[in-house]
Amino acid sequence: MPSKRFFCNNLIVNTGTPSGLPALEADEVINFEQFGPLFKHCKDAHLPRPSSNLRLGTLSEYRRIENEAVRDGLEGIFKVTLNFSKKTYVKFDALKQATLGTLMIVPGTSRGNLNANFFNGRFTNGSVYSTDSIEFEAADKDGLNVLGSVDILAEGADAYVLCMSTSKDDGAVILDPEYDSVWSIKSGSVEEFAGRIATYLCSISQVRQSFCSETIGPLNAPGFPPPPQNEYMQWRFSAEIWEVIYREKTIEMSTTITDEIIQDIFNSLDRSAFIKPEEFSHEKEVRIIFRPVMIDTRDGRRYLFPNYLNPIFIPFDPLLGFVESS
């Protein structure tokens, strides 16, 4: 079914359900390296104990929390800026790829537009949109001359996040004064630990109710309900374990748009949940990401619905064998 598109002045918002992502092989669902123990600093009340709960926050929540010391306003988001301060020749295909198809490339002047679309990666999909103040001048059949700037923001599908650290040192994390305790996932246990959480999340109806009514993207358009589970569509959770990459979350281009830059853009969007600014590098963070998905058993394709998620509490009891407290 073709996606719905609504036009309002210079605004184009694609509200169609995103297409399915490629199937993952079983050994790719959890990307696991042989980490040592992973540490979590907390208040004493939040240590793992029988009948206690583990809180899983979300990417969207961490963008909006009030604590400026730990808030990353681009959590799960990646930005690309094209800024041509002087007239520059750019190939059509390179410009389309670098702006992920959001830029309306026609000769003349384009100012103040907001264009939205979806992107689909290997691990996630999401919303991408651009604003521009740019001039195009036809050059030849392959390209045009460009003057001005375009800002592109890409927001990956929301997910539950458990942030750990490879360091037990208090200096490795930004601590609340009341964070006087630490617990850890035992060395060699993180894969099974994550698997237990994913299995539990898959078993509870609360997760389906945790979808917020708005979607990712600039307008918080009405959300999409997950498709009903039937003989073909199965409700699952994927779990990914990655070391955080510390780098700038904006790629800036002002001259030639190379194939290497385009590949960096695509990889960064797909891994945006595991990229943080360099200022956080002392945290030595390892992230466990849990993504709610529907899987079509006929072809293995995965469907991530781009609604915001609410944080969730899960019981520590089935996890206690994998953790230690101090």
- C-alpha torsion angle, residues 246, 159, 123, 42 (rounded to 10): 40
pLDDT grade for 227, boundaries at 50, 70 and 90 = low
Of the candidates 249, 256, 307, which has an alpha carbon nearest to the alpha carbon of residue 273?
249
Q: Please answer whether residues 139 and 92 qualify as being in contact, where contact means their C-beta atoms are separated by less than 8 angstroms.
A: no
Q: Please answer whether residues 161 and 56 qualify as being in contact, where contact means their C-beta atoms are separated by less than 8 angstroms.
A: yes
Of the candidates 146, 174, 177, which has an alpha carbon nearest to the alpha carbon of residue 280?
174
- Angstrom distance (rounded) from CA 199 to CA 239: 10
How many CB atoms lie under 10 A from the CB of residue 141? 6
Q: Which amino acid does the sequence have at 199? A: T
Q: Please answer whether residues 126 and 269 qualify as being in contact, where contact means their C-beta atoms are separated by less than 8 angstroms.
A: yes
Give 90-130 pLDDT, tens digit per residue.
999 999 999 888 887 777 777 777 777 888 888 888 888 88
Alpha helices in the chain (DSSP H): 26-29, 59-64, 92-98, 190-203, 206-209, 259-270
DSSP type of residue 101 = T
Q: Where are the beta strands (DSSP E) in 206-320?
A: 211-215, 233-243, 245-246, 250-253, 275-276, 285-296, 302-303, 307-309, 312-315
Mean pLDDT, range 219-238, rounded to an integer: 75
Mean pLDDT, range 131-144, rounded to an integer: 88
- What is the token pair recorded at 224? 């999409």
Give 7-30 pLDDT, tens digit per residue.
333 444 544 566 788 887 655 555
Given this model, what pLDDT does residue 4 score? 41
Q: Please answer whether residues 311 and 57 qualify as being in contact, where contact means their C-beta atoms are separated by less than 8 angstroms.
A: yes
Q: Higher pLDDT residue, 132 or 319?
A: 319
Taken in order 117, 216, 190, 195, the sign of the CA dihedral is: negative
- What is the token pair recorded at 164? 């750990």
- Angstrom distance (rounded) from CA 297 to CA 48: 36
pLDDT grade for 1, boundaries at 50, 70 and 90 = very low
Taken in order 90, 91, 94, 100, the sign of the CA dihedral is: positive
- Residue 27 CB partners (closer than 8 Å, separation 6+): none
pLDDT grade for 267, boundaries at 50, 70 and 90 = very high
Q: Please answer whether residues 30 and 195 qualify as being in contact, where contact means their C-beta atoms are separated by less than 8 angstroms.
A: yes
Given this model, what pLDDT does residue 163 score? 92
Evaluate if residue 139 carries a pLDDT over 50: yes
The angle at the Cα of 214, spanning 209 to 215, to the nearest 5 degrees, equals 105
- What is the token pair recorded at 101? 């198809």
Given this model, what pLDDT does residue 9 score? 37
Given this model, what pLDDT does residue 318 score? 95
Give 152-194 pLDDT, tens digit per residue.
988 888 899 999 999 888 666 666 667 788 999 999 899 899 9
**Lookup result for tokens 């006929």:** 298
Q: Please answer whether residues 307 and 103 qualify as being in contact, where contact means their C-beta atoms are separated by less than 8 angstroms.
A: no
- Angstrom distance (rounded) from CA 69 to CA 14: 35
Of the candidates 294, 35, 39, which has an alpha carbon nearest to the alpha carbon of residue 162?
39
The angle at the Cα of 320, spanning 315 to 325, to the nearest 5 degrees, equals 110
- Angstrom distance (rounded) from CA 175 to CA 170: 7
